[in-house]
Amino acid sequence: MQGSLWADTQRSDEASKAPEFDMSELESLFSAAMPNSDRGSADKSSGRASLGHKSDKVHLIDLRRANNCEIMLTKVKMPLADLMSSVLALDDSLLDADQVDNLIKFCPTKEEMDLLKGINGKKENLGKCEQYFLELMKVPRVESKLRVFSFKIQFRSQVADLSGNLNIVNSSSTEIRNSAKLKRIMQTILSLGNALNQGTARGSAIGFRLDSLLKLIDTRARNNKMTLMHYLCKVLADKLPELLDFPKDLVSLEAASKIQLKSLAEEMQAISKGLEKVEQELTASENDGRVSENFRKTLKEFLIVAEAEVRALTSLYSNVGRNADALTLYFGEDPARCPFEQEVTTLVNFVRMFIRAHEENCKQQEMEKKKAQKEAENEKMKLNAQKKDPELLRSQIRSTRTK
């Protein structure tokens, strides 16, 4: 418990901050109350040339694969030679990530390359798929280069998305631990629970499990008109109204509840591995000759910037682990039993229940106020009517005597 909010609560100055409860009211409402619930691989070529049905083009690649390849190429909308120039220049102004990923799907297999190596004669007589494969075959390790290109195109957005989510987790953890209002509310709930369990072994608790927050809505008063959550809101509204807006301290909580730390780890790993592939291809391309000159130059420039960004991202990711652990320690929880995702989800649900209960209390209070006003008005009208009746009677008597 050392270092948790419960350890702070045991200090005399912290304990004195808890509001005093009206025990007679508390016992009458909740003494007998019980919770309602506890809560693919490339296609193989036949190896035989065939004539296309629509032209005299020679097709060596499996027709179904060739047709799919040609459909893909129609979406690129540039000559094959220009296409490969854009790839080697790593020019993402002409190709997007989806297009590059489609090019990767239609890289020739070893069998297909062996088949095309023996081609003699004019390449123009070949089908478009075959011509595309031949263009790819001019570039050493073309599939590796395409994968590096795809990584480069998506790098900025991947880093931005991951960085944004990491910042949300860090901000949420810090906001929760730094919220003095949330801390006071947690201490008030502990005091409320001890007051309810006074005289029992559970009446001197020094803390409670975080998931107990969600059980406040299940514990109903004997008159069944309010829950312990509503009573908590009532006490705070009467004695500590400055705590009612504590959700304003937790601006990142809702967004953090939608994030899985496991997914962040996977994204971090994917970016790190992608950068390793870039380094490997840059080293391998040193022996490619002139065909990869522009590729190497552009990739080297990208790598310098990317490495710096990944170092910053790695540092940010490390902070997430420390902040998640710090939050678990703050609530005195076991990380294996109550991971970060469960903690923030529990708090989000608690905040929603708290806000709803307070709003319902306000509506009920307003209804009772209007009812009291109406009763007061009716009583006033009744009194006024009673005052007017004797005067009316005397007026009638005087009128009779005159006659």
Spatial distance between the Cα atoms of 228 and 171, rounded to a whole number of angstroms: 30
Lowest mean pLDDT among 257-261, 334-338, 349-353, 395-399: 395-399
Q: What are phi and psi of 219, to 5 degrees?
A: -85, 115
Distances (CA, A) of 12 to 6, 7, 15, 205: 12, 11, 5, 15
**Residue found by looking up tokens 């990530």 in the block:** 97
Q: Does 230 reside within a domain?
A: no
Q: Does 327 reside within a domain?
A: no
Model confidence over 218-277: pLDDT tens digits?
Answer: 989 888 888 999 999 999 999 999 999 999 999 999 999 999 999 999 999 999 999 999
Distances (CA, A) of 139 to 145, 169, 290, 293, 296: 9, 44, 10, 12, 13
Q: Does 48 reside within a domain?
A: yes
Percent of the chain with pLDDT over 70: 87
Spatial distance between the Cα atoms of 270 and 281, rounded to a whole number of angstroms: 16
Q: Does 210 reside within a domain?
A: no
52 vs 227 pLDDT, higher one: 227
Spatial distance between the Cα atoms of 264 and 270, rounded to a whole number of angstroms: 10
44 — pLDDT class (breaks 50, 70, 90) = very low
- For residue 89, the Cα-to-chain-centroid distance in whole angstroms is 37
66 — pLDDT class (breaks 50, 70, 90) = very high
Q: Does 163 reside within a domain?
A: no
Tokens describing residue 189 = 């709930």
Spatial distance between the Cα atoms of 57 and 50, rounded to a whole number of angstroms: 8
The secondary structure of residue 213, as a DSSP letter, is: G
CATH of residue 53: 1.20.58
Q: Does 383 reside within a domain?
A: no
pLDDT score for 102: 95
pLDDT score for 47: 41
Task: Report the interhelical angle of 293-330 vs 142-178 (nearest 10°).
Answer: 20
Helix/strand/coil for 47? coil
10 Å CB burial of residue 122 (0-12, 13-18, 19+) is exposed
Q: Does 400 reside within a domain?
A: no
Spatial distance between the Cα atoms of 64 and 61, rounded to a whole number of angstroms: 8
- Residue 109, domain extent: 41-138
Q: Number of folded domains in the chain?
A: 1
28 — pLDDT class (breaks 50, 70, 90) = confident
84 touches 136 (CB < 8 A): yes
Q: Under 8 Å CB-to-CB from 340, ≥6 apart: which residues?
A: 169, 173, 261, 324, 327, 328
Q: Does 92 reside within a domain?
A: yes
43 — pLDDT class (breaks 50, 70, 90) = very low
Asked if residue 109 has pLDDT above 70, the reply is: yes
10 Å CB burial of residue 363 (0-12, 13-18, 19+) is exposed
